[in-house]
Structure 1
Amino acid sequence: MNYVRYFTKISMARKPSITRSLVGILLESPPTMISMATGMPNATLFPVEEASFKLQNGTTLTMSNTEMQRVQQYSETQGFPELIKWLGDLQEYSHNVSALNRSGDQKIKIALTSGSQDGLSKVSAMLINFAREIR
């Protein structure tokens, strides 16, 4: 279903950030490229080298130095691509709903937010025209 008809004028007027769109290009560029555009910090200077997490069932998850460098670096605005794919796979496995393999009006996008209030605020700004009465 196409939900664009429900978007507010403010939401429809939003444009992607040119600076943020360059991050995707930089992530795919060779390591020898020196960018004069956006800052991509030297990954060897990141403070966390590796991490281990012990789950309640006793399983230990470990993130290597390479993985830690990847997660501490700037990423696409939509969120960490591997996490979005994992969440799409989880959605399909848990609810038998293919979130990422649809097209057109049936395409489902996963939005990552910094918390529930941030997500609710963004959805409200997208759908509620504050100049009009809600019935």
Structure 2
Amino acid sequence: MWRGMIVLAGLLGAAGAAHADSRLFCSADDKEARFTLESGFESDAGHKLNHFRGALVVKDQAQSTVFGKRVFESQHLTNHWSRDGELLLEVLDGGDDDTGGATLDLVVVAGERGKPSANFSGTYSLTIAGGEKPYAVQGKVSCGTK
């Protein structure tokens, strides 16, 4: 019984925090890539980033040996904007020793300023540079709020 009350109290506390902050997610799954991104922004002026995480799978066989599957954290988010229905996220993976100097840049642009919505769409561009062969693709992305 106490466990149930603690869980309920936690959920109610999280619900109160959800009104104060924005939690956004974006995902895509097409012939080029599959990814999910989740970010949280404060509702105060400046919309400071609370957290960021994501995962990406590059489906191109030539690129999958270097960037087959990557996990992203806050340090990978190099540019972000969330205001009045508009969202921009730029994720940069500068590569580690396992990429041979190649870098990955994923940019998501979604929503429309002045038209906030719980669910919205946009585009993504994915670029891999510094490897054997340059790689650049674009696609559609679906986003929403939690």
Structures share a fold, TM > 0.5?
no
Q: How high is the TM-score relative to the length of structure 1?
A: 0.23
TM-score (norm 2): 0.21
Quick check: which one's helix share is greater?
A: 1
* Larger relative contact order (CA 8 Å, sep ≥ 6): 1
Flag the structure with higher strand content: 2
